């Protein structure tokens, strides 16, 4: 068989083909510019394994931390991008994101800082809090039965965090279907992706704060009988025992299998057992109900689509290169 010469027109053709291949691969990359799977390969090769070990430790203590880590990623990335700003403390002159109404009861911040301390001891000034948060959400999801996904790293930490930004960007638990669609569309996510990521409610718990409007103030009458009529009546009675009128601080699991990542969330929603208004509203739209029904069935694509949604979320507003900083502790800017 004849071999092609590496000179002349053939060399030009090879170069063009290689360039086209590189460009095509770049265009198809699911990651934001500046992020890569091997970002810490030389600077801190143990980074991912250390995060994984600490997540395992936290879940042994309280398996429900899986929901907390998932919530942290969403509440971080949705407000100015995935820059770890949700972890920052307030100062005398600024109310940080964690003080926002929509972040009431946020957990996992101290645990992320514990991971950060271990990484700072091993690789000082290298691994960002933003990346730790993304890794923890992925690892925790997989460890409680959910999907796993490849995480690209290289995010840097932001220096700005305000409660107003959080309350402006994050969806409140009283939004209806069109409100949720609009909120997610503003971040580049479609209605199906919104329903997919709502499936994170298959793990975790909530304070009654976000549930009371579903039980006592659904139409604005603000009385004990003003409950979402679409809610399963027995379930409403059960919730009212756990969340008496006016009690904002009691905590309840937000899924019947709250420590296991599965499809039970969608089954619950179809049965009128959604905890939040934003859960039950998913089936008030025919398209939404069709997706919820599909995801509730065995062998559906929910796990695959959830993983893809988390990867996409992890690309939002990332700081790379010389932008931002690498914090020494996650709750304070340097």
Q: What is the 3-state secondary structure (H, E, C) of the chain?
A: CCCCCCCHHHHHHHHHHHHHHHHHHHHHCCCCCCCECCCCCCCCCCHHHHHHHHHHHHHHHCCCHHHHHHHHHHHHHCCCCCCCHHHCCCECCECCHHHCHHHCCCCCHHHHHHHHHHHHHHCCCCCCHHHHHHHHHHHHHHHCCCCCCCCCECCEECCCCCHHHHHHHCCCCCCCHHHHHHHHHCCCCCHHHHHHHHHHHHCCEEEHHHCHHHHCCCCCCCCCCCCCCCCCHHHHHHHHHHCCCCCCCCEEECCCCCCCCCCHHHHHHHCCCCCCHHHHHHHCCHHHHHHHHHHCCCCCCHHHHHHHHHHHHCCCCCECCCCCECCCECCECC
Inform me whether the pLDDT recorded for 307 exceeds 50: yes
- pLDDT score, position 29: 73
> Do the domain assignments include residue 277?
yes
- pLDDT score, position 221: 80
Pick from 326, 235, 255: nearest CA to 39: 326
Question: Is 101 an annotated catalytic residue?
Answer: no
Sign of CA dihedral 303, 271, 67, 178: positive
Is 262 marked as binding a ligand? yes
Question: What is the value of pTM for the model shown?
Answer: 0.89
> Do the domain assignments include residue 328?
no
Is 81 marked as binding a ligand? yes
CATH of the domain at 103: 1.10.520.10
Pair 273, 211: CB distance under 8 Å: no
- pLDDT score, position 270: 98
Q: What is the pLDDT of residues 206-252, one digit of tens each?
A: 999 999 999 998 888 877 889 999 999 999 999 999 999 999 999 99
Inform me whether the pLDDT recorded for 19 exceeds 60: no
Inform me whether the pLDDT recorded for 274 exceeds 50: yes
> Do the domain assignments include residue 278?
yes
User: What rounded mean pLDDT belongs to the chain?
Assistant: 91
Return phi, psi of residue 298, to 5°: -60, 150
Range of the domain at 140: 46-204+254-314
- In this prediction, residues 42-46 reach a mean pLDDT of 98
> Do the domain assignments include residue 287?
yes
Residue at token pair 């203590």: 61
- pLDDT score, position 14: 39
Greater pLDDT, 308 or 6 = 308
Is 157 marked as binding a ligand? no
- pLDDT score, position 255: 87
Which residues, listed in sequence order, are joined to residue 207 by a DSSP beta bridge? 251
Return phi, psi of residue 216, to 5°: -125, -10
Using 50, 70 and 90 to split pLDDT, how confident is the model at 258? confident
> Do the domain assignments include residue 224?
no
Inform me whether the pLDDT recorded for 11 exceeds 90: no
Is 196 marked as binding a ligand? no
Greater pLDDT, 29 or 102 = 102
Q: Name the domain count of the chain.
A: 1
Is 102 marked as binding a ligand? no
> Do the domain assignments include residue 137?
yes
Residue 156 region by backbone torsions, left for phi larger than 0, else alpha for psi between -120 and 50, else beta: beta
Q: Which of 75, 101, 207, 214 is catalytic?
A: 75
> Do the domain assignments include residue 99?
yes
b (16+ CB within 10 A) / e for 177-194: beebbebbeebebebbbb
Inform me whether the pLDDT recorded for 164 exceeds 70: yes
Q: What is the pLDDT of residues 84-101, one digit of tens each?
A: 999 999 999 999 999 999
Residue at token pair 């409680």: 144
> Do the domain assignments include residue 32?
no
Using 50, 70 and 90 to split pLDDT, how confident is the model at 17? very low
């Amino acid at each position: 068989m004849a071999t092609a010469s590496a000179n002349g027109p053939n060399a030009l053709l090879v170069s063009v083909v290689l360039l086209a291949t590189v460009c095509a691969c770049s265009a198809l990359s699911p990651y934001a510019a500046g992020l890569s799977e091997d970002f810490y390969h030389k600077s801190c090769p143990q980074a991912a394994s250390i995060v994984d070990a600490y997540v395992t430790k936290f879940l042994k203590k309280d398996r429900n931390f899986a929901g907390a880590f998932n919530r942290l990623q969403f509440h971080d990335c949705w407000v100015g991008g995935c820059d770890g700003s949700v972890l920052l403390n307030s100062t005398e002159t600024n109310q940080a994101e964690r003080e926002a109404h929509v972040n009431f009861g946020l957990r996992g911040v101290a645990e992320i800082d514990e991971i950060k301390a271990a990484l700072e001891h091993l690789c000082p000034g290298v691994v960002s809090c933003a990346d730790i948060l993304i890794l923890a959400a992925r690892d925790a999801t997989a460890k409680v039965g959910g999907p796993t996904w490849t995480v690209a790293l290289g995010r840097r930490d932001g220096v700005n965090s305000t409660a107003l930004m959080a309350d402006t960007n994050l969806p409140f638990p009283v939004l209806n279907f069109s409100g949720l669609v609009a909120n997610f569309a503003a971040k580049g996510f479609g209605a199906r992706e919104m329903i997919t990521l709502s499936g994170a409610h298959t793990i975790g718990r909530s304070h009654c704060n976000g549930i009371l409007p579903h039980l006592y103030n659904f139409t604005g009458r603000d009385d004990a009988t003003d409950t979402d009529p679409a809610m399963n009546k027995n379930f409403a009675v059960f919730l009212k025992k756990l969340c008496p009128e006016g009690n904002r601080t009691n905590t309840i699991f937000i899924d019947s299998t709250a420590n296991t990542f599965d499809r039970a969330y969608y089954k619950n929603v179809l049965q009128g057992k959604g905890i939040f208004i934003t859960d039950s509203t998913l089936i008030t739209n025919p398209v939404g109900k069709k997706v919820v029904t599909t995801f509730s069935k065995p062998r559906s694509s929910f796990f695959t689509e959830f993983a893809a949604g988390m990867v996409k979320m992890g690309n939002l507003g990332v700081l790379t290169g010389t932008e931002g900083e690498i914090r020494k502790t996650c709750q304070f800017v340097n």
